[in-house]
Amino acid sequence: MKYFLILLLNFSVKVFAQNCFRTEPCKCFMEDNSGYINLKSLALSSGGPRWTLDGGDGYFYQYNPCVGFENEKFTDLAVLQVHENNSNLEYNLGIQATETFVTSLSKGLSITYASSASAAKRKSEVILECIPGSRDHELQFVGELIVTEYEFILKSPCACPGLCDDTGLIVPDASTSSQISTMPPSGDETLQPDPVGSGLNWNQVGSDLVGLIFHDFILVAIIASTIVIVQYIMGYRCHCYKNGQSMKFTDA
């Protein structure tokens, strides 16, 4: 039963939480070949943060993806915490050099930052929420859910595969819309899409494929659960044969 649960977890992560392979700062390519997620157009290059939020906990939180900002104490900042009444009371919550794309079953895709490359005192996580029909880019502060670990949510069309490039939202062109931001860089064999399935559109067949897999998985789960119930709850006794001899198994 333990191994069955492990397989269930691995299957769920594989199907419902696709990895995104980092190709450069603020940019990654989806494991299912659905395209790039590119946040470069959201960054301010002027040396300051793109967002400043009132956390409601006595602090302001500043975030700038891709491009580091600095102040008198810190450099290469991605996330900074500043006390609302004392600007000298501020904390580095993550630097650009530690940017990592992370996938989890509960949160999906997120970017994590640490206050240093080693022995980090504080960490931040920015959960990427894909909003395909929007032109807004909204950052929300969730809270310090674990001591010295801070969580944010970035709601943006640029959190969706293939919708943004380095300059912003991609405007589809009739002749090139199927080619924009859907292929990994040439020469990177680990990210090349499967030639056999390259003609399939994930948006068209993806939900059907997942539905079929999930249906089969539920069927297997029901069968496995029935066997467990029969064997361990109802005290089922079975006879097996090995090398022509009867082997009898009974519950204690």
Q: Do residues 45 and 113 both lie within one domain?
A: yes
**Under 8 Å between Cβ of 82 and 69:** no
**Residue 47: C-alpha distances to residues 68, 71, 117, 160, 252 (Å):** 7, 9, 21, 26, 71
Provide the whole-model pTM: 0.66
Range of the domain at 141: 19-169
Per-residue confidence (pLDDT) for residue 223, from 0 to 100: 76
Report the Cα–Cα distance between both ends of the chain, in Å, rounded: 18
pLDDT in tens, the chain (252 residues): 444 444 444 444 444 578 999 999 999 999 999 999 999 999 999 889 999 999 999 999 999 999 999 999 999 999 999 999 998 999 999 999 999 999 999 999 999 999 999 888 999 999 999 999 999 999 999 999 999 999 999 999 999 999 999 999 998 765 554 444 444 544 443 444 433 333 334 443 344 444 556 556 666 777 777 777 767 765 545 444 455 555 554 544
Q: Do residues 128 and 216 both lie within one domain?
A: no
Q: Do residues 107 and 164 both lie within one domain?
A: yes
Q: Do residues 165 and 216 both lie within one domain?
A: no
The Cα–Cα gap between 73 and 91 comes to: 9
Q: Do residues 48 and 124 both lie within one domain?
A: yes
Q: Do residues 29 and 142 both lie within one domain?
A: yes
Is 186 among the domain residues? Answer: no
Last residue of a domain, one of 151, 169, 187: 169
Is 33 among the domain residues? Answer: yes
Is 102 among the domain residues? Answer: yes
Angle between helix 2-16 and helix 202-228 axes, rounded to 10 deg:
170
Is 188 among the domain residues? Answer: no
Last residue of a domain, one of 149, 169, 189: 169
The Cα–Cα gap between 107 and 84 comes to: 29
Q: Do residues 220 and 107 both lie within one domain?
A: no
Q: What CATH number is given to the structural domain containing 52?
A: 2.70.130.10
The Cα–Cα gap between 185 and 189 comes to: 9
> How many domains does one find in the chain?
2
Q: Do residues 144 and 28 both lie within one domain?
A: yes
Pick the closest to residue 137 from 66, 83, 238, 77 (CA basis): 66
The Cα–Cα gap between 93 and 233 comes to: 52
Is 2 among the domain residues? Answer: no
Is 26 among the domain residues? Answer: yes
Last residue of a domain, one of 147, 169, 191: 169
Q: Do residues 91 and 146 both lie within one domain?
A: yes
Per-residue confidence (pLDDT) for residue 8, from 0 to 100: 43
Per-residue confidence (pLDDT) for residue 245, from 0 to 100: 59
Q: Do residues 143 and 33 both lie within one domain?
A: yes
194 phi and psi angles, rounded to 5 deg: -70, 120
The Cα–Cα gap between 36 and 165 comes to: 8
Q: Do residues 26 and 112 both lie within one domain?
A: yes
Is 35 among the domain residues? Answer: yes
Is 176 among the domain residues? Answer: no
Q: Do residues 58 and 155 both lie within one domain?
A: yes
